[in-house]
Amino acid sequence: MSLLGLSAKNVTTRETGAAITASVSAALRKLGYVGFVLSLGVFFSISGAAFGAGTYLSSVRQTELIKLVRNDCGSCHGIRLTGGLGLPLTPQALKGKPAKSLVTTILFGRPGTPMPPWNTFMTEAEAAWIVENLLQGFPDVR
């Protein structure tokens, strides 16, 4: 099951309430009742992680991901994510970019550029968590 569609829909829209309604009704139409219940569960677990409530990603894993972003993404994008050989990843720099495409970029890289795919290092949900936090201003390691 793809977690990507729902989480992306959820984080791209500025009006979170509207996004929830839209994604829930879209899911309902597409999937029917069973699909809806399933997707609802996925939705809430993702949104918990995405909004930093820690219900989906353990704090240990969150710390690992923060370190990965600061250190490994940071080798091109800067430890402060203000850019380097890679583009800046600050909230201002990412403003207006669809979260879904950012998640895709993290997982599958950008062919033709140095940006590699990171899908062997993390799940879709974890990439969505990273994107959500990048858009809000990424936390520090400590």
Which chain residues interact with another protein by CB under 8 A?
68, 70-72, 74-76, 78-80, 82-85, 109, 114, 116-117, 121, 141
Q: Which is nearer to another protein, 77 or 100 (CB)?
A: 77
CA 76-131-42 angle, 5° bins: 145
What is the Cα–Cα distance from 136 to 106, expressed in whole angstroms? 17
- Contact between 126 and 119 under an 8 Å Cβ cutoff? The reply is no
CB of 100 to another protein, least distance (A): 21
- Contact between 59 and 79 under an 8 Å Cβ cutoff? The reply is no
Phi/psi at 83 (nearest 5 deg)?
100, 160
Residue 82: both structure tokens together: 């203000």
Structure-derived torsion over alpha carbons of residues 95, 99, 100, 106, reported in degrees to the nearest 10: 100
CB of 101 to another protein, least distance (A): 18
CB of 2 to another protein, least distance (A): 22
CB of 114 to another protein, least distance (A): 6
Q: Which is nearer to another protein, 24 or 68 (CB)?
A: 68
